[in-house]
Structure 1
Amino acid sequence: MRTYAVKEKKVIENVTIIDIAEEGKGVGKTDDLVIFVEKAIPGDVVDVEIYRKKKNFAEAKILNLVKPSGYRTEAFCQHFGVCGGCKWQHMLYDAQLTYKQKSVTDALQRLAKVELTGMIPILPSKFTSYYRNKLEYTFSNKRWLNDGEIRTDDTDMNALGYHIPGRFDKILNIEHCYLQADPSNQIRNGVREYALKYGMSFYDVREHTGALRNLIIRSSSTGQLMVIVVFAYADGEQIEGMMQFVADSFPHITSLLYIVNQKKNDTIFDQEVITYRGEDHILEEMEGIKFRIGPKSFYQTNSEQALHLYEIARDFAGFKGDELVYDLYTGAGTIANFIAAHVKQVVGIEYVPQAIEDAKVNSFINNITNTKFFAGDMKDVLNADFVTEHGKPDVIITDPPRAGMHADVVARLMEIEAKKIVYVSCNAATQARDLLVLKEKYDVVKIQPVDMFPQTQHVENVLLLQLRIA
C-alpha cells in the first residue's frame, strides 16, 4: 500500500475493501485510518482519493479499480452512481443478502451484546427490481447536469426526478426508474413532456415559484393505480389542462388527484386533496383483508415483502386466539387488522391522527370488530392509566420509525411485562439500542431479517422477545 499527494489531494493505492458500512460504502483500512469508499464493495482492491478526513477515519472515492471483487456485477440503471437510490446495484444479490444479514448480526452483537442462537437466514425479496408501490418525484428548474454536459443559454434546465444526495436544490432528471413497474415510467415521462410542450414552469425551491411541484405515483397488488399531481403557482387553466391530459393518456388510473401546495415544504399532510377523476383511494389486499390507501396513508412500499414481514410477526407471536395485543406505532392499522382474526383484541396506538382514521376505516371495510385505535405521542399515551383501562397485553408488537422507541416507551414496556414482544425494525442499530434495556427482563428467542429493499443497504429485522421467568 502506497500513499502520496497530488495537487494537495491524498491518494492511497491498493486498498483492500474488507466490509461494507451501514450507509452502503465500502470499508478499507490502513495502519491508522478507516476509509469509507463510495461504490466499493468487499473484495475490491482499489486506489482511492481522500476527499474528507477526520481524526480516525476518512471518506474517499475510487480512482482506479485495481482488482474487482467477485461480488461485482454490472449496474443496470443508467442513473446509477448519480441518483441517491439503489446504491448496491453493482453487487450481486446473494452478496447483498449476506451483508444485510451481517449488518443485523453486527448491530445485535456489538451494541446489544446478545446471543444469536435464534438467528434465521434473511428472507430474500422475490422481486429485485420494480418492487416499490410508491414513488415521489420532484419538478425543478435546476436540473443536475450529467458528466461532460456543458450548460449554455439554450440548455433545458427543467427536470422531473430525484434529489441529488446532499443538494436540496438539484434534481436528477429520470428517464427510466427500475423501482416501480410500468406504467410508472410512462406516466412520469408523459407528464414532463406535456409540461415542456405547453411551457409550464417547474418549481424553483429557492425562489418558491413555478407551476409544477411534485408527482406521486402509487400502485397496488390489486392492480389499482393512484396519481397525484402537486401544483404550486399554477392557474386554473394550467391545472385543468394537465389533469385532463393525464386522464386521457392513462385511462387505467383509478384514482387521479391533485393538490395545490404553496408552502415552503413538500409535505402534503396538511393540504387539501382534490379528486379529479375516479376514487379518492386505492385498495391493497393481504390474505383477503383489504386496506384502503389514501394519498396521505402509510403502507409498506414493498407489497410482496410486507405480507411476508407481517406473516413472520404473526408466527413469532404464536397466537392461540385469546390474547390481548398492543400494536405500537400501528400506522394505518395494517398489522393490527392483519392479526385481528387470530386474537381476542388488538389495541393500536399511533402518533398521526389521519393514520388512526385510516386504521379504523380498514377495520370497518373488513367487518373487523375487535380492534381499538388511539392517536397520540406514544410516550404520553402508553402510560399506567392506559394499561389499567384497556388491560395488560399478553403480546406487544412494536414497529417504530428508524429512530427506534423513545426511552420512556422502552421503560414502559419494562413495567408492563408482556409475555412476548415482537419488535419489527427498519434500523438494526436503534433496535439493538432498545434491546440493550429490554434484555434485562427478556430473552431473544428468534431473529429474522427481511429484505424489503433490494439494491439498497436497508434491511428490516424482526425479533421475538420472551419475558424471563424469575
Structure 2
Amino acid sequence: MEFVKNQIVTLTIEDMGTNGEGVGRVDGFTLFIKDAVIGDVIEAKILKLKKNYGYARIEKILEPGKDRVEPVCPVARQCGGCSLQHLSYEKQLEWKFDKVKNCLERIGGLEHIEEKMEPVYGMEDPYYYRNKAQFPVGTDRNGQLITGFYAGRTHSIVENTHCCIQAKINQQILEMVMEYCHRNHITAYDEKNHKGVLRHILTRVGFQTGEIMVCLIVNGGKKKLVNLGQLVDDLKAISGMTSITLNINKEKTNRILGDKIISIWGQDYITDYIGNVKYQISPLSFYQVNPAQTEVLYGKALEYANLQGEETVWDLYCGIGTISLFLAQKAKKVYGVEIIPQAIEDARQNAKINGFDNVEFFVGKAEEVLPREYEKHGVYADVIVVDPPRKGCDETLLDTIVTMAPKRVVYVSCDPATLARDVKILGEKGYQVEKVSVVDQFGHTSHVESVVLMSRKDK
C-alpha cells in the first residue's frame, strides 16, 4: 500500500522507540508516533514519510493501552520537557531497564547481560525532583511577555510557570520576575533581530540546604533592568533565597549562559550536599539535577569501585568533582580530570570545603592528561571511573585505560548506546562486565543513567 502525507491511518502500538515514542505498523510499514504507548489503538495522521518508515501524530485514541495514564501537567503534550508523562511510572522504569539491556546486547555484543543487571533504581516520588531550571522568556501572539519551556524541537515557548518535575518554589519566583517585567516594561529577548533584554531565568535550589539561587540572563548590562531593586526586595523575602545574580549574554547564540556573572544580592553561589559531601554551586557550575538519585548513582559507583583505603583512583570527566569527592572518602588518592577550567576551580574549592587533601585535579582533555601523567610521571591507577558526556569516551582514552591496566573500570553513563559501544571496545581489550545498575535520574523523560563495573580478565 502507498501512503501519503496527511493520510489518516488506524493502527495498534506494539513497541516503543529509543526516545519513548510509540511504534506501530500499517500493512508492514513502520510508523513512529510521539505520545503513544504500547497497546494504544489509535487514529494517526502521517506527518513525514521516509523509504522504510514514517512519522505520525495521534489524532484520536480509540482504545488506550493498559499502561496509559493521564499526565499530571496540562501542557505535557506540547512541552518538550516530559516525553513520558502519559506512561505509568512503573512502565517507564521497565522501559528504561530494557533500553540499557538492549543496547548492551545489540551494540555491546553481550549475551545474557540481564543476569548481571540489578533491578532498576526508581524514584520514591518522580515529581518536583529537579534542582535546576532554565526558563526562556519570550512573547505570545499578542506581544505579551511569557515564560515556560520550548515545545519539542522548536524555540516556540509553551507558557507554564508550574512545572511538575521542577522545584515547587520556581512558580513563585517566575511570577515575581514576570510581574516586575510587566511593571517596568522590561522586554523579552528576540533571537531573530537580537533585540530585547531578558533571555532566560535560571533557578537552582539546594534540596538539603534549602538555599535558592536566581540568575537572570540578560542581553546587556545591569542598566537594562530598570528598578531592579524592586525585584530584589521581592525575591529576598522568599525563605532560603541566597543568591541573586545577572549573567550577561550578548552573543547571537543558542547557548543559554554567557561567561560574565554580576552579583546583585547575597552570594554568587549556593551550597548543597550529596550524601555527606558538600558542594558549592555557581550559575555556571555543572551539577547533577536530581540530588536524591545522584546519591544512589554515585553510591553504586563507589560500591563498584570497592575501595579499601589504599587505592589510587582516576575520575575522568570529573566536572566540579562530584564523583571524585565521593571516591575520596574511601581512596588513598584520587585524580580528577576535566576540560572546563571553571569546573576545576569549583572542584578544588569543593575539596577544600570538605577537608579532602587526597584529591588532585587537572584541567585538560582526559585523553591527553591521562597518557601524559602515566607516561611522564608514572601515575598508575587501581581503579578508573569515567562519567563522559553523551558522546562517550574518546578511543585514545580507552586505549590508555587498557595500557594502565587498572583492576576495575567503573563506567557511569547518560547514554546507553555510547556506553555499549565503549564496553564492547574495552571487552575486546581484556575487560569483562561484572555488574550493571540502571538509575532513573530523569523521571517522565526518555533519559536514563547507568553504572557498569568492568574488571580485568585474568590472563
TM-score by length of 2: 0.94
Match for 2:189 among 203, 209, 213?
Answer: 203
**Which deviates more, 227-236 or 360-369?**
227-236
Q: In 2 relative to 1, CA 181–386 (structure 1 residues): closer, same or farther, beyond 3 Å?
A: same
Is the alpha carbon distance of 1:202 and 1:248 closer, same or farther for their aligned partners in structure 2, counting shifts above 3 Å? same
The equivalent of 1:119 in structure 2 is 117
Counterpart in the other structure of 1:159: 146
Query: Helix, strand or coil: the match of 1:447?
Result: strand
In the TM superposition, what are the counterparts of 1:432-447 in structure 2 within 5 Å? 432-440=420-428, 441-447=430-436
Matching residue of 1:104:
100
The residue type equivalent to 2:178 in the other structure is R
In structure 2, list runs of 5 or more residues that go unmatched. Answer: none
Partner SS state of residue 301, structure 2: helix
Q: Distance in 2 between matches of 1:5 and 1:104?
A: 33
Which of the numbers 296, 320, 324 marks the counterpart of 2:308?
320
2:247 to 259, 265, 285: 259
Q: Does 2:170 match 1:184?
A: yes
Map 1:229-240 → 2, pairs under 5 A: 229-233=216-220, 235=223, 238=226, 240=228
Q: Tell me how far 1:63 sits from its aligned partner.
A: 2.1
User: Which digits, 9 at most, give the CA deviation of each residue in 1:105-141, with x for residues without a partner?
Assistant: 1100011111312111110112211000000011113
Residue 68 of structure 1 aligns with which residue?
A: 64
| Alpha-carbon separation, structure 2, partners of 1:237 and 1:201 | 9
What's the % identity of the aligned pairs?
34
Partner of 1:11: 8
Equivalent position amino acid for 1:159 in 2: I
Q: Are positions 1:133 and 2:131 aligned together?
A: yes
Shift of 1:388: 4.7
Partner residue, 1:148 = none
Residue 132 of structure 1 aligns to which amino acid in structure 2? R
Q: Which deviates further from its counterpart, 245-254 or 82-91? A: 245-254
Aligned: 1:366 with 2:364: no
Q: Secondary structure at the match of 1:167?
A: coil
* 1:50 alignment counterpart: 46
Deviation at 1:47, TM superposition (A): 2.1
Q: Is the 8 A contact 2:232 2:265 kept in 1?
A: no
CA contact (8 A) 2:335 2:359 kept: yes
CA distance in 2, matches of 1:58, 1:33: 8
The answer on whether the counterparts of 2:290 and 2:442 sit within 8 Å (CA) in structure 1 is yes
Structure 1 unmatched ranges of 5 or more = 144-150
- What is the DSSP-based 3-state SS (H/G/I as helix, E as strand, rest coil) of the residue aligned with 2:107? helix
Conservation of the 8 A alpha-carbon contact between 2:248 and 2:257: no
Code of the residue aligned with 2:217 in structure 1: it is V
- Counterpart of 2:366 in structure 1 is 378
How far apart, CA to CA, are the structure 2 residues paired with 1:173 and 1:307? Answer: 32
Match of 1:452 in 2: 441
Cα separation, 2, equivalents of 1:158 and 1:278? 27
Identify the match of residue 94 of structure 1 among 87, 90, 101. 90
Say which SS state the counterpart of residue 363 (structure 1) adopts.
helix
**8 A contact 2:16–2:22 mirrored in 1:** yes
Opposite residue 126 of structure 2, the aligned amino acid is: T
**Is 1:212 aligned with 2:198?**
yes
Say how many residue pairs are matched: 454
Q: CA deviation at 1:195?
A: 0.8
Written as runs of structure 1 = structure 2, the 5 A alignment for 1:235-254 is 235=223, 238=226, 240-241=228-229, 243-250=231-238, 252-254=240-242
Equivalent residue runs for 1:382-421 within 5 Å: 382-383=370-371, 385-389=373-377, 391-421=379-409
Asked if the contact 1:290–1:362 (Cα under 8 Å) also holds between the matched residues in 2, the reply is yes
- Using the alignment, how far apart are the partners of 2:447 and 2:280 within structure 1? 26
Report the AA paired with residue 135 of structure 1.
Answer: A
For the 8 Å contact 1:191–1:246, the answer to whether it is kept is no
Secondary structure, counterpart of 1:342 in structure 2 = coil
Name whichever of 251-260 and 458-467 sits farther off. 251-260
